[in-house]
Amino acid sequence: MTTPTAAPTSLTAPTGPAESAGPAGPAGPAGPAGASSGVPTAPHTPDDTDRLGAAVDFVRNQDTATLLRLLLPGLDGLELRALADRCRFAHAALLVFPADGTSLRRQFAACGLDPDAVAQPSVVVRERLALRHRRDAAALDVRILRPEVHCADGERRVVEVFTLALPPGSELGEVAAHERARDHEAHIAFEVERPDPLVLRGLCETFAQHGAVADGGGYNPHEDGTVFYFTAPADSKAGYRRVELYASGDHRSVLTPHLADYQARRPAETLLRLMTGAWTTQALAACAQLRLPEAMDTRNDGGPRAAVGVDVLARAVDADPENLATLLRYLAMLGAVVAEPDGFRLTELGALLRADSPGSMRSLALMYGGAFYQSFALLTSAVRTGRTGFEQLFGENHFDYFARRPALAERFDQSMAASAHMFDPLPSHPVIAAADSAPERRTVVDVAGGTGELLGRILSARPALHGVLLERPHVVEAARRHLDTVGVGARCTYRVGDFADVPAGGDVYVLSRVLHDWDDDRCLEILRDCARAMPAHADLLVVERLLPSDGTPSLATAWDLHMMCNVGGRERRVDHYAALLDGAGLRLVGHSPLPLGASVLHARKAAAVAAARPSEPSRRG
C-alpha cells in the first residue's frame, strides 16, 4: 500500500531565482531609498521611476561585504569574512505599477535598463497580493522582469522588477498606493555559492544570531533551488526589511526548521494554507485525468519542452479554456507546470503524471484523488469508531472492493509501482549480494509481491538468482507480463495463494509494504507463516516506513493516518517491528534507510541469529 510522495514542503509557494517572493510580515520593508520604517516620512510617495532608479543605483553601487555589514551591524570581522566567502549579493527587488508596456519601457530606459527585458507571469507575488488585499488572483496581471545592471565592482547583478498593470481609472489604485507606501515586495537577495547543508545551517544561524528573523521560504522543484526568507534585524542599515538567501539544489532538511520558526509566528496564515491540501490533491488528480501532461509534453527534435497555449491545450483535452487556465495557474504554483508568456510548459515533476513516463505516478494521483479521497471524508468517524472510512463508505475493505472491479484493481497495482524508486538500493543489499555470489543457486521469495516490480529489479541486477512470486490470481498474471517484459520471466516461478501458502525452501524472503496493511495480530500470523517456510539459514527482508521514535516530522506519520482511514493497518516504530518479529520466532538483525522515507529491516530465525552472532557481524543489514 502506498501513498503520494509529493507532499507540500514549505509554508509558501515554491520560489526560485526566476521568481522570488516570500510571505509579507506585519510591517512592510523599507524601500530602496533607505527609509527606516515601513511608511515613508516624505510628504508624498516617490513615483515608480524614482523607486526603480533608486533600486538600480543600490544594485550598481553595493558590494557583498559592504551590504552584509549594513544588513547585520553586529558582525565581527571573522563572521563577515565567512559570510562574504559563502554568498554574494545577487539582486534587489521591487513592485511597480506601469500603465502599460510602453510606459514600463520608458521607465526602464530612463533608469538605464534594457527596455526589451522579457516579462514572465509571477504567480507567487500575484497570490500574495490577492491574499493581502482580498482580491481575486485571476484579476491581477502580475509579471516579473530581471534586467541586468552594470555594477561598479564588475559583478553581474540584476534588478528583480515585479509589475502590476495599472491603466488609467483602474480600480487597483488603492492597491498600488498601499504597496508603494509600504513596499511589501521589496527585498535584497544573496546567492549561496557551493551550498551544502552544513554551510546553509551556519548561514541561517549567523543571520538569526544577529537579529534576522525567519520569514518563510520554499523549495522550487523545477528550478531545483531552495529559498530562505528573513526579516532584517531592527538595527539594519541596509535599507531593506526583507532578505532572501538562495541556494541551488534541494535543501529541505535545512529549510524545515527555518519554516518552523516562521510558522510559529504566522499561525493563521499557516493554518489557512494547510486547509487547502485537498485542493492540491484534486488539482493533481484532474491534471492526470485530463491527460494534460500528454498534451503538454512537446519537444523539438528531442530538445527542451516548449510552452503550449491555453486554447491549444483546451482543444486537446476537451476543456473550457478559462477554467483550464485557472487550473494551470494553480499547477504552476505547485511546480507541475511553468507559466511562460506564450502558454504553460510541463516540468519534470508534472511529467511524472504521464501514463508512459518512467516512474509514472499517474495511477497514484488517480487513486488518491478517487476512492481514497472520498473515504477520507469519513476520517472523523474512523477515529471515533475504529472502522476505516473506506469500509464505512464502500461496505467492504479495499482489497475485496478492488478485486471485484478489475479496472480499479489494475490501477491500484500500478499505483504500487509508482513508488518503486525506494527499491533502487535493494539489489545491492548485503543479503541479496551474498545470495547472488553463493556457489549453488539461491532463490528469492517475494511474498505478496504485487506485479513484480521489486523482484524484477533484484533478478535483473543479480543474474544468478531465481525468483518465486506469491500473489492473488489476477495479480500473478500482471506480474508474469511485467517480469517477461523486463527479461527475467524465465527465472521466475509463480504461486497463487495467500500468506498461509508461503513457499518453503527459499533463501531470501521479502515482505515489501505488506505488514503496514494489517493490525498486529494479522502481522504476527503473516510473520509466523514466513518463519515456518524459512529454512534455518534463510534471511527475511521487510520493506516499510518507520515511524520516528522522537516525534520528528516524517512521511511515515502521514502514511500512518492514511493506513488508519483507508486500509485498517498502521505504520510502526522499529522497536514495534522488532517485538512482532520476536513473537514469530524471528530476530531483527539490523535496518537501513531507503529512498522515499522507507527502510529495509533484516531478520533471521532466532536460533540462527544466536549461532551467527560470534562469527557473522558483517551480516547485519
Q: Does residue 348 sit in the same domain as residue 387?
A: no
Q: Does residue 350 sit in the same domain as residue 305?
A: yes
Parallel, antiparallel, or unpaired: how do β-strands 492-496 and 508-512 relate? unpaired
Q: Does residue 239 sit in the same domain as residue 304?
A: no
User: If DSSP codes are grouped into helix, strand and coil, which group holds residue 40?
Assistant: coil
Q: Residue 6: inside a domain, yes or no?
A: no
> Measured between alpha carbons, how far is 496 from 475 in angstroms, rounded to an integer?
9
Residues 6+ apart with CB under 8 A from 371: 390, 394, 398, 401, 408
Q: Three-state SS string across 384-395, please?
A: HHCCCHHHHHHC
Q: For the residues 143-170, what does the mean pLDDT come to?
A: 91
The C-alpha cell at 121 is 507571469
Q: Does residue 314 sit in the same domain as residue 297?
A: yes
Report pLDDT for 89. 95
Instruction: Please enumerate, as own/partner, the contacts of 59-64 that have beta carbons within 8 Å and a separation of 24 or more.
Output: 59/91, 59/92, 59/149, 59/151, 59/157, 59/158, 59/159, 60/149, 60/150, 60/151, 60/152, 61/151, 61/152, 62/89, 63/89, 63/152, 63/153, 63/155, 64/88, 64/89, 64/190
Q: Residue 13: inside a domain, yes or no?
A: no
> Measured between alpha carbons, how far is 254 from 226 in angstroms, rounded to an integer?
9
Helices 123-133 and 321-334, packing angle to 10 deg: 100
Q: For the residues 15-24, what does the mean pLDDT come to?
A: 35
Q: Residue 412: inside a domain, yes or no?
A: no
User: If DSSP codes are grouped into helix, strand and coil, which group holds residue 309?
Assistant: coil
> Measured between alpha carbons, how far is 524 from 532 in angstroms, rounded to an integer?
12
Q: Which one is predicted more confidently, 608 or 340?
A: 340
- Provide the domain count of the chain: 4
Q: Does residue 477 sit in the same domain as residue 554?
A: yes
Q: Residue 103: inside a domain, yes or no?
A: yes
Instruction: Output Rg (C-alpha) for the chain, integer angstroms.
Output: 28
Q: What is the CATH classification number for the domain harbouring 319?
A: 1.10.10.10
Q: Residue 11: inside a domain, yes or no?
A: no
Residues 6+ apart with CB under 8 A from 506: 443, 444, 445, 468, 533, 534, 535, 538
Report pLDDT for 34. 37
Amino acid at 128: R
Report pLDDT for 263. 78
Distances, alpha carbon 414 to alpha carbons 363, 479, 493, in Å: 6, 11, 21
Q: Does residue 344 sit in the same domain as residue 400?
A: no
Q: Does residue 304 sit in the same domain as residue 184?
A: no
Q: Residue 15: inside a domain, yes or no?
A: no
Percent residues over pLDDT 90 in the chain: 61
Q: Residue 2: inside a domain, yes or no?
A: no
Q: Are 619 and 612 in contact (CB under 8 A)?
A: yes
Q: Does residue 327 sit in the same domain as residue 427?
A: no
pLDDT digits (tens, 9 = 90+) for 420-478: 788 999 999 999 999 999 989 999 999 999 989 999 999 999 999 999 999 988 889 98
Enclosing domain of residue 449: 420-619
Residue (of 360, 375, 462) closest to 411 by Cα position: 360
Last residue of some domain: 270, 303, 337? 270
Q: What is the CATH classification number for the domain harbouring 190?
A: 3.10.180.10
Report pLDDT for 304. 77
Q: Does residue 397 sit in the same domain as residue 477?
A: no
pTM over 0.85: no
Q: Where are the extended beta strands (E) located within 63-154?
A: 87-96, 120-121, 142-145, 148-150
Report pLDDT for 46. 63
Q: What is the CATH classification number for the domain harbouring 497?
A: 3.40.50.150
> Measured between alpha carbons, how far is 9 from 162 in angstroms, rounded to an integer?
25
Amino acid at 273: R
pLDDT at 28 over 60: no
Q: Does residue 400 sit in the same domain as residue 473?
A: no
Residue (of 244, 241, 210, 211) closest to 225 by Cα position: 244
> Measured between alpha carbons, how far is 565 from 380 in angstroms, rounded to an integer?
9
Which residues carry out catalysis? 516
- pLDDT class of 300 with cuts at 50, 70, 90: low
Amino acid at 336: A
Q: Three-state SS string across 447-472, please?
A: ECCCCCHHHHHHHHHCCCEEEEEEEC
Q: For 26-30, 102-106, 190-194, 543-547, which range has the lowest pLDDT when averaged over its residues?
A: 26-30
Q: Which of 152-156, 165-169, 210-214, 610-614 has the highest mean pLDDT?
A: 210-214
pLDDT at 523 over 60: yes
Residue (of 520, 531, 621) closest to 577 by Cα position: 520
Last residue of some domain: 209, 237, 270? 270
pLDDT digits (tens, 9 = 90+) for 478-518: 899 999 999 999 999 999 999 999 999 999 999 999 999 99
| Phi/psi at 95 (5° precision) | -110, 130
Amino acid at 565: C
- pLDDT class of 614 with cuts at 50, 70, 90: low
Report pLDDT for 573. 95
Q: Does residue 263 sit in the same domain as residue 280?
A: no
pLDDT at 4 over 70: no
- pLDDT class of 613 with cuts at 50, 70, 90: low
pLDDT at 31 over 70: no
Last residue of some domain: 224, 250, 270? 270
The DSSP letter of residue 154 is S
The C-alpha cell at 433 is 549480494
Report pLDDT for 43. 37
| Phi/psi at 163 (5° precision) | -125, 140
The C-alpha cell at 80 is 563577515
Q: Does residue 168 sit in the same domain as residue 313?
A: no
Q: What is the dihedral of CA 97, 100, 101, 106, to 10 degrees?
A: -70
pLDDT digits (tens, 9 = 90+) for 345-398: 998 889 999 998 888 999 999 999 999 999 999 999 999 999 999 999 999 988
Q: Residue 234: inside a domain, yes or no?
A: yes
pLDDT at 107 over 90: yes
